[in-house]
Amino acid sequence: MISTLALGLGGCPDDSGSAEPESETEAGSDGASGAEAGPSSGGGSTGAAESADSSTAESAGSDDPTDDSGDTTGDAEATTGDADDTTGGSGETTGSGSDDDATTTGGDPVCGNGAVEGDEACDDMGQSADCNADCTLATCGDGVVNESAGEECEDDNGEDYDFCSNACQAAPSVMLDGDHVFDTNTGTLDGVAVASWHQPTATWYVTGLDVPMGGLLTVVGTQRLQIQVQGDVFIAGTIDVSGQPGGAPETMIEVCDVAGQGGAGGPGGFDGGVGAGVGGTGTRDGGDGDGPGAFTATGGIASDANNAFYGGAGGGGGGHILGGLDGAAGGGATSGAGGAPHLSLPPLIGGGGGGGGSVEIDGALGAFLESSDDEGAGGGGGGGAVALVATGALTVTGTIDASGGDGGVDTDCSESIGFGGGGAGGSISLSSPNTDVVFATLDVTGGLGGTTTLGFPQAADQAGGDGSDGNLFVE
């Protein structure tokens, strides 16, 4: 407003010449105030000073009171002319030429001057815990990050689980050195709930991910894992979403009298079938594996023609595009069939599980399970599925393991059993503007079918079917 006032004092004094006498008297009073403001101005104060000098000179030089009155009036007119120029030039004042009046009257409100004006909700002369720098009230969700109010972020999307919570707190940046376990069924890391986890989509939101050399993140659960990263990803350690191997039969009383268990699928993968017998299917035939294809890997079927050293092995789990391999059998047993293929990426899905092996019959032939039979091994679990999506660089020099589990074998069994089929490989998807996997190990291979560990010649030809490979996507 100072510059506006200065321009007003520079107005033309001749404009007051046509004013009425009564108005001249009132303006002359205002002109005194204008003259006080004059020293901070230019031409206006000079004009007033010249009028005052002229009035003094004429009054002193005349003996006629009438002449003096006329001269004084004339001087008043000159002075009034200067005052009128001041009043007209300011444009924002109606009386005194005070600077205070000029800054609080008229014009647009100014955010940051400490005074609440116009449509301002507050004005703390800058950001505070209650007021944003734009003179709006500080509220999480208003689209303005107010650090004084403890806000770390603002996305105003109503979603509490993503990169920015509904309390305006940012998702964490995560470093995983040492051994850690993430459970996709519960959204927990080492048993502690993760705030930035979205259970319906099995997505973990973080603002950085670092698994240094020696670090291990083991992922369990039935849901696949997707990690959305607002920032960079560095994997020099290991992320493990692999399927588990099928179990070998165990001994409780007699040798191998408890069936081997099917291997658990990795997160998003499918379980292998259980072995035949007690603790497994409860029959002489192995259990089928689970899988996403049109049909799953089937378990081996026990011999109905011969006993001793003859079992039926489970088929391999089906994977991406290719189906699993069939198992092998001998002596009248029937091998399990490999599982059907399926497409993945999309969807983000793991591999199918292998089939379980049948019993090796030691008792009478027939459909009924006998205590003397040697129970079958379990099928391997299908590899899981994991996706890493980053807005920054994604660098992998370590290992991401989504392999299928191997089929169960005959550990500690004195006779040949039905072996388990291998689980199919899972899926790995990596996406970022700058993805570097030149030195990475990205494993989506299918698990091997079980075979003898005891060197029985006849058992070597009765191995379980291999699981097929999974899918790998990098961009």
The pLDDT tens digits along the chain (475 residues) read 333 323 232 333 343 333 333 333 333 333 333 333 333 333 333 333 333 333 333 333 334 433 443 343 334 333 334 434 433 343 333 333 434 433 444 568 899 999 999 999 999 998 998 999 999 998 888 888 888 888 888 876 777 788 888 888 888 899 999 999 999 999 999 999 998 999 999 999 999 999 999 999 999 999 999 999 999 999 999 999 999 999 999 988 888 889 999 999 999 999 999 999 999 999 999 999 999 999 999 999 998 887 777 888 999 999 999 999 999 988 888 999 999 999 999 999 999 999 999 998 888 888 888 888 889 999 999 999 999 999 999 999 999 999 999 999 988 887 778 999 999 999 999 999 999 999 999 999 999 999 988 877 667 778 999 999 999 999 9
CA–CA separation, 343 and 470 (whole Å): 9
Instruction: Determine the pLDDT at residue 405.
Output: 98
Joined together, the tokens standing for residue 419 give 């072996």
Instruction: Determine the pLDDT at residue 82.
Output: 42
CA–CA separation, 77 and 399 (whole Å): 96
Cβ(217)–Cβ(182) under 8 Å? yes
Fill in the amino acid letter for 417.
I
Instruction: Determine the pLDDT at residue 106.
Output: 53
Instruction: Determine the pLDDT at residue 458.
Output: 66
Q: Which residues contact 219 (CB under 8 A, 6 or more apart)?
A: 181, 182, 183, 184, 225, 239, 240, 241, 266, 267, 384, 386
Domain boundaries, the chain: 2-104, 109-162, 171-475
Q: Output the furthest CA–CA distance in the chain (Å, rounded).
A: 157
- What 96-100 contacts at long range (C-beta under 8 Å, 24+ apart), as own/partner pairs, is 96/33, 97/5, 97/33, 97/34, 97/36, 97/37, 98/37, 99/1, 99/2, 99/5
Cβ(248)–Cβ(410) under 8 Å? yes
Angle, alpha carbons 202-208-214 (nearest 5°): 90
